[in-house]
Homo-oligomer: A and B are copies of this chain.
């Protein structure tokens, strides 16, 4: 299996989405990748801003955010509409033949509404399956799929889904056929040993080190599910995972490499 084709799968977060210049620079780097590639994007502040303008009040239950019908609509409009199409149009201008996808398009990501006895999270979906045949077919045609963090339940219901998880599930689904390079871009240069110090990037984290860093509470809150996604991906065939900022596609950049 040494001659599997390479693919780079990049997830970008709000800090890039929200900044026109960062997004433009990032898309430029992304479009220059020669191998097959996939982009997954979150939503950034736009959805929150539009929800505020529409006078929607964020709902919480037991301190957890709830996606009600009105908020789901705003999320679908913003993620799968405005942001996804702006990214696709910019990639087309860079001669990368992108097609934007929600999970409903081509039944590409099927999910189920999150069940939880204590909290009803509303229209939030957990991934059940990825249509890797369709994605592979598109990649063979030199098409670059661009995913927003919206999925569907197969019964006509759209669902809001974590973009990190979508990236991880897509990476896993393609790891049989491709040598997968999975990259998470966020606001820091990598996983930091001191959250106040951008110079404290940890170069490499394996599962043992992760357990220690977690125990010591050096890694906490949002970084925990992100790293657990990474280990799940590595355990399921993904070859290579990096966490870094918008410059992570530039070879010389500081970043954190995740290993088993």
Residues of A within 8 A of B (CB): 50, 53-55, 73, 76-82, 84-86, 88-90, 92-93, 97-102, 104-107, 137, 141, 143, 150, 152, 154-158
- Supposing A100-B105, A106-B99, A137-B141 touch, asked if A82 and B73 sit within 8 A by C-beta, the answer is yes
Minimal Cβ-Cβ distance residue in B for A55: B53
Do A81 and B77 touch (CB < 8 A)?
A: yes
Contact between B92 and A156, CB atoms less than 8 A apart: yes
* Residue pair A85, B76 in contact (C-beta under 8 Å): yes
Interchain CB contact (< 8 A) of A154 among B82, B93, B156: B93
Query: Across the interface, do B81 and A104 meet the contact criterion of CB distance under 8 Å?
Result: no
List B contacts of A89 (CB < 8 A). 104, 152, 156-158
Is chain A's interface secondary structure helix, strand, loop, or mixed overall? helix
Q: How many copies does the complex hold?
A: 2
Complex partner residue of A102 from B53, B79, B100, CB under 8 angstroms: B100
Given contact pairs A77-B81, A78-B81, A99-B101, a sample of 20 additional A-B residue pairs in the complex whose CB atoms are under 8 Å apart: A77-B78, A80-B80, A80-B84, A81-B81, A81-B84, A85-B104, A85-B105, A85-B150, A88-B104, A88-B105, A89-B104, A89-B152, A89-B157, A92-B152, A97-B106, A97-B107, A99-B99, A99-B105, A100-B104, A100-B105
Contact check: which of B93, B101, B137, B155 meets A93 at CB < 8 Å?
A: B155
Question: A93 vs B110: C-alpha distance in the bound complex, in angstroms?
Answer: 11
Cα-based distance from A102 to B76 in the complex (angstroms): 15
Which one, B54, B98, B152, B154, contacts A105 given CB within 8 A?
A: B98
Q: Pick the 6 closest A-B CB pairs, nearest first.
A: A81-B81, A77-B77, A93-B156, A77-B81, A89-B104, A99-B105
Can you name 11 A-B residue pairings with CB atoms under 8 Å? A50-B77, A76-B81, A78-B81, A80-B85, A85-B105, A86-B158, A89-B152, A97-B106, A97-B107, A100-B102, A100-B105
